[in-house]
């Protein structure tokens, strides 16, 4: 059977993944209301297509931080990808490179940033970062990312602690013993070198710092010349602070609905962030993208590009790198169809007037 939509890949992946890994990738926080909302909120937006426009030649390329990309979709940071397939982060990154997309490597990856960089040299790569209790550990990782040719730092700001994911608690989730958090091999915890998987996991968990504040953004900016993107912004107020503290961009995101339940869907939070800082920062989005018209709606509401997390992992679980390539191919084709059928030849043709909330029509 041909896989023609992202739900097809999700179903195939679920049949291949071990239960603990499947639940880890799938689950959200609490009752998982926001997990469902991330997708459903897109369905509450209606397209308002324009007709009789020349769409014989489409140009969906875009430029982010000066880098020319083939289209406005990238792959979000997702932890521990070798649980899905031995290709892991390398397969995902290579697929992104072939598609002309951004790939963001998670700090909590099962492939080290050096190995990823060497294996996918032609992929445009960003590195996702946390600020740890041991600031020297954070600094060391930043220096490694710079040396390995990553082009931006994506600081996750919505995880001073981890959210309550019930499935992981029930499953007593832990990283399989044959895998490890590769970016922390050889780090020292209380003088003991953490070469073993469980030791690394405990060390990294102990480093999450609930005391970080906006002052730490200043510290990070003084540390590096790389653009700093804040991931996890859901309010205009925090977007304005990101601008004031000199960040280059923000990713409107609720962490895949994995941190705290009943926050808004990313697409619901996007308009207020764009209104507040859209002329000053690169505003991006992740969460809930399942088809080409979701990409279109996010761009119409002001995002410059969007990212997918779970769908790429499901493609990986289905068939390694080739599975991710298929997922990206399905999304790109669907986005091109949406562009043509809404009368948009290039990305700048996508205007907010082409999208309306369903409430507009329910009043008629």
Q: Give the tokens for residue 90.
A: 């390398």
**pTM for the full predicted model:** 0.96
Q: Known catalytic residues?
A: 255
User: What's the confidence (pLDDT) of residue 311?
Assistant: 98
Nearest Cα neighbor of 346 from 75, 72, 47, 48 is 72
What is the overall mean pLDDT for the chain?
95
Whether 211 shows a pLDDT value over 60: the answer reads yes
Whether 179 shows a pLDDT value over 80: the answer reads yes
User: What's the confidence (pLDDT) of residue 185?
Assistant: 85
Nearest Cα neighbor of 165 from 34, 27, 265, 264 is 27
User: What's the confidence (pLDDT) of residue 89?
Assistant: 98
List, for residues 228-250, the tens digit of each pLDDT value: 999 999 999 999 999 999 999 99
Domains observed in the chain: 6-362 (3.20.20.70)
Cα–Cα distance measured from residue 56 to residue 33, given in angstroms and rounded to the nearest whole number: 41
List, for residues 17-67, the tens digit of each pLDDT value: 999 999 999 999 999 999 999 999 999 999 999 999 999 999 999 999 999
33-37: list long-range contacts, CB under 8 Å, 24+ apart: 33/261, 33/262, 34/254, 34/257, 34/260, 34/261, 34/262, 34/263, 34/264, 34/265, 35/256, 35/257, 35/258, 35/261, 37/257, 37/264, 37/265, 37/268, 37/288
Look at residue 354 and give its three-state secondary structure: helix
Pinpoint the alpha helices (H) of the chain: 6-16, 19-26, 33-43, 88-99, 113-119, 135-147, 166-171, 197-207, 215-223, 236-244, 266-277, 292-300, 310-341, 359-362
Going 221 to 285 to 266 to 302, the CA torsion angle's sign is positive
Q: What percent of the chain has pLDDT over 90?
A: 91
Whether 303 shows a pLDDT value over 80: the answer reads yes
Whether 190 shows a pLDDT value over 90: the answer reads no
Give whole-number Cα distances, 354 to 84, 262, 302, 351, in Å: 38, 28, 12, 6
Nearest Cα neighbor of 285 from 266, 312, 309 is 266
User: Crossing angle of helices 33-43/292-300, nearest 10°?
Assistant: 80
């Amino acid at each position: 059977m041909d896989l023609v939509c992202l739900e097809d890949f999700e179903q195939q992946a679920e049949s291949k993944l071990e239960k603990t890994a499947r639940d880890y990738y799938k689950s959200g926080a609490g009752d998982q209301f926001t997990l469902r909302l991330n997708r459903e909120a897109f369905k509450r937006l209606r397209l308002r297509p324009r007709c009789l426009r020349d769409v014989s030649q489409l140009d969906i390329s875009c430029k982010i931080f000066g880098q020319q990309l083939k289209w406005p979709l990238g792959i979000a940071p997702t932890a521990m990808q070798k649980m899905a397939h031995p290709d892991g982060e390398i397969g995902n990154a290579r697929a992104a490179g072939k598609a002309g997309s951004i790939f963001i490597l998670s700090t909590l990856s099962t492939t080290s940033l050096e190995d990823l960089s060497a294996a996918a040299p032609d992929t445009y790569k960003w590195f996702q970062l946390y600020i740890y209790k041991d600031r020297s550990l954070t600094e060391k990782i930043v220096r490694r990312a710079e040396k390995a040719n990553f082009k931006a730092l994506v600081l996750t700001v919505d995880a001073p602690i981890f959210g309550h994911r019930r499935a992981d608690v029930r499953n007593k989730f832990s990283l399989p013993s044959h895998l490890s958090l590769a970016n922390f091999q050889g780090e020292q915890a209380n003088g003991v070198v953490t070469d073993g998987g469980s030791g690394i996991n405990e060390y990294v968990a102990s480093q999450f710092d609930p005391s970080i504040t906006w002052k730490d953004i200043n510290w990070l900016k003084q540390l590096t010349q790389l653009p700093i993107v804040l991931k996890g912004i859901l309010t205009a107020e925090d977007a304005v602070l990101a601008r004031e503290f000199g960040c280059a961009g923000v990713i409107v995101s609720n962490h895949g609905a994995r941190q705290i339940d009943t926050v808004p869907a990313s697409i619901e939070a996007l308009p207020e962030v764009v209104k507040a800082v859209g002329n000053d920062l690169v505003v991006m989005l992740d969460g809930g993208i399942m088809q080409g018209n979701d990409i279109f709606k996010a761009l119409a509401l002001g995002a410059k590009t969007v990212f997918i997390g779970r769908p790429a992992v499901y493609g990986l679980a289905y068939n390694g790198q080739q599975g991710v390539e298929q997922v990206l191919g399905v999304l790109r084709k669907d986005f091109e169809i949406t562009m043509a059928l809404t009368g948009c030849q290039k990305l700048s043709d996508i205007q907010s007037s082409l999208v309306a909330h369903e409430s507009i029509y329910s009043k008629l």
